[in-house]
Copies of this chain bind each other. A is one copy, B any other.
Amino acid sequence: MNDIFLKNYPLLITGVRIGEKQGDIFINEQGMIGAIGEQVKKQYAGQAEFIIDGGGAIALPGLVNTHTHAAMTLLRGYADDMVLQDWLSQKIWPLETHLTGDDVYHGTRLACLEMIRTGTTAFNDMYFFMEDAARAVAETGIRAVLCHGFIDFSNPEKREAECRATERLASHIKSLNNPRIKAAAGPHAPYTVSKEGLRWCAEFAKEQGIGIHIHVGETEKEVSDSVAQYGKRPVAVLDECGILTSRTVAAHCCWLNKPECRLFARRGVHASHNPTSNMKLATHRAMPYHWLKAAGANIALGTDGCSSNNNLDMFEAMKSASLLQKFFWNDPTLLPAPEALQMATSAGSRALGLGTGALVPGSLADIVLVSSGTACNVPLHNPVSNIVYSCSGPAVETVLCNGKVLMLEREVPFEQEILTRAQEAASALVQRAAQS
C-alpha cells in the first residue's frame, strides 16, 4: 500500500459525500478528475489501479493558502505577544540573518507536511532561499507559487541584487519544468520597496507572464507614512507603478477604503485575507470584505507565516475570517460559511491561476477527504457549516494533489524524518544566533 504515495496511478475514490450527494471520484493518469458522481464506481472500477474507500468522508477541493512564509515554521513560538517593531528588530530579524538555504528547505518541508495534514494542497509563498523551498515542494508533492521577498529600502545596490535574485528564481523554476511549481515576483510591500523596484517587478512579471505577490495595507501606519512620503495612499503608489494586475495577490488589505476596493475589482487584483495574523499582530481593522465583495473583487484566504499565526491550518483561517468579519463589521450575517469555503478553494485557485478549486471533471485532482466519523461532523445537519465552524485541520484524513496521494488515512510518508530534521534545524538556528 506504501506504493500508492506520490504516484500517478488511475485511482478511484468510493463512497464520499460530494455536496449534497454520495458518490465516487475517478482520477485519470493525467492527474485530473475523469468522472465524478453516483455511477462512477460501476463504470471505472476496472480502470483504477488503486481504490480508496472514502467511508462516507466529505470530499472537498484541496484548500489554497494564498499568503505564507512557509519556512517560518522554524520560528513557531520563538517570539509572541510583542509589539511589531520590537518583535521584528529584537527577535525575528536577528534570527533570520542566520538562516541558510538548508534551513529554508527543512522549514518548508515542515510547512508542507503541516499543510498536507490540514487539507491544503497549494500555497503562495514569499521568503528567501526559494530554490531550497522549491526542492521541498517538489519532494512533498504539494503545489506552490514561490517568490523571492524583494526588499530594497530605496537602496539602488540592494535593488540590483533583488532584481537578480528574482530573475534567478524565475529561471530556476522554469528549468524545473514541474507543473506544480510556479514563480512569482515578490515586491515585499509599498513601504519596503522603492517605486523603481515596484516598477521593475511589475515589468518583469508582465514579461514573464508570472504573478505578483505583495503585502498591502496591513497597518494604518503604512497608509499614513505613504501619504507623508508620496502624498498618496499606498494603493495609488502601487497602481502608478503597474503592480495592480489580474495576476496580483495582495495580502492583508486591512486598511483599504471603498474606492480602493473598487480599484482592486477593476484591475482584477486578488485580495488575500489573513484574519489570524491580523488579530495576533493587532492591525485593529479587518479587511473590508463587504466592500470588496460588493465591488466584485476576488477574495481569497491565507494564514501568513507561522511566526504570526502560529500554524498553517486553513480550517482555522476559514473560521477566523468568518468570525472576525462578523465581529468587526458588526453583522452576524456577513461572510457565511459557504463563502468562507469558497475563499479557501475556488477563489484561492483563481487568485493563483491553478486550475483546481472545484470537484468537476477536467479539474486537476487536488482533493481532500474530511472524516465524517468524528465529533466535529456529528450531527451532519450541514457539512459546509461543520467544515467552516466546527472542524479543525486534523479532521482531514486523505489528501491528493495533482492526482497523486500525499496522505492516506492520516499517513504521510517520511513524516517522522521531516519533523526530526526540522526540529534539529530550528534548534541549531537559535543556537547560532545566541552565539553570534
Contact = CB atoms under 8 A, between A and B. Distances in A.
Kindly report how many copies of this chain are found in the complex they form together. 2
B337 A276 contact: no
Interface stretch (A12-20, A210-218, A388-396): A388-396
B375 A327 contact: no
B81 A332 contact: yes
Given A76-B390, A282-B332, A313-B392, 20 more contacts: A75-B381, A76-B378, A76-B379, A76-B381, A77-B381, A77-B383, A78-B382, A80-B385, A80-B389, A81-B335, A114-B375, A280-B323, A282-B327, A282-B331, A283-B327, A309-B389, A311-B391, A320-B323, A378-B422, A381-B430
A376 B332 contact: no
Contacts of A336: 80-81
Given A76-B381, A77-B381, A382-B77, A375 B110 contact: yes
Interface string A393-436: 11100000000000000000000100100110011001000000
Given A278-B327, A310-B389, A373 B419 contact: yes
Interface of A: 73-78, 80-84, 87, 110, 113-114, 117, 276, 278-284, 306, 309-311, 313, 316, 320, 322-324, 326-327, 330-337, 373-376, 378-383, 385-386, 389-395, 416, 419, 422-423, 426-427, 430
Contacts of A283: 327
> Which of A323, A383, A427 has the most CB atoms of chain B within a 10 A radius of its CB?
A323
A394 B336 CA distance: 25
A332 B86 CA distance: 11
Contacts of A310: 385-386, 389-390
A33 to B, nearest CB: 27
Contacts of A313: 392
Nearest to A277: B323
Contacts of A330: 282, 284
A386 B326 contact: no
Contacts of A395: 394
Given A81-B332, A373-B419, A426 B392 contact: no
Nearest to A416: B373
Contacts of A332: 81-84, 87, 280-282
A422 B311 contact: no
Contacts of A416: 373
A43 B250 CA distance: 60
A71 to B, nearest CB: 12
A337 B79 CA distance: 11
Given A77-B385, A316-B392, A423 B378 contact: yes
